[in-house]
Copies of this chain bind each other. A is one copy, B any other.
């Protein structure tokens, strides 16, 4: 395996497992009829869907980023460990949000947003560290694609930070924003989509 393949394999495993563990936090209250409990569990479904979609998108983009990189160094590894630590952490704020969304807990919505903002910061750090002066970028990588990825990173962290701060006003508002961001990225998928088209 080359310099980045083993990092990618480990990262893929973390993403797939973290996304699948999210379902363990979808549970019924045990009070009332089964039908009633199933309806009452909607915050769990919402939290599951938003987190799963977000992890799916970030995973797809993580691969795009790695296709441009052909070597790694210690600092890059350090940032990637931090990044994966946040990825594997996501089932916790998802559970906290699901358990407390009904009571519109601002703290739960805030910690959820902070986790995803931290992920966006680590992720941007990972990319900009690699891209600065084309430090770790493959010599064959297209300059326009590298610039395109850099541009697409800039708004991401800001958007998550704003959505997170909105939790101080209203938990529901923040969750709606988190859902819209996930939906936007799934529909857009611009970085990955552009790259996945077969070469002409």
Contacts and interface: CB of A to CB of B under 8 A. Distances in A.
Interface of A: 1, 3, 6, 9-10, 12-24, 26-28, 33-35, 38, 48-49, 52-53, 56-57, 59-60, 63, 70-74, 77-78, 81, 84-85, 88-92, 95-96, 99-100, 105, 107-108, 111, 186-189, 192-193, 196-198
A122 to B, nearest CB: 13
A81 to B, nearest CB: 5
Counted per complex, copies of this chain come to: 4
A96 B13 contact: no
A98 to B, nearest CB: 12
Nearest to A26: B92
A20 B23 contact: no
B10 A52 contact: no
In the A-B complex, the 7 residue pairs with the closest CB atoms: A13-B16, A35-B107, A17-B20, A74-B193, A34-B107, A34-B105, A56-B81
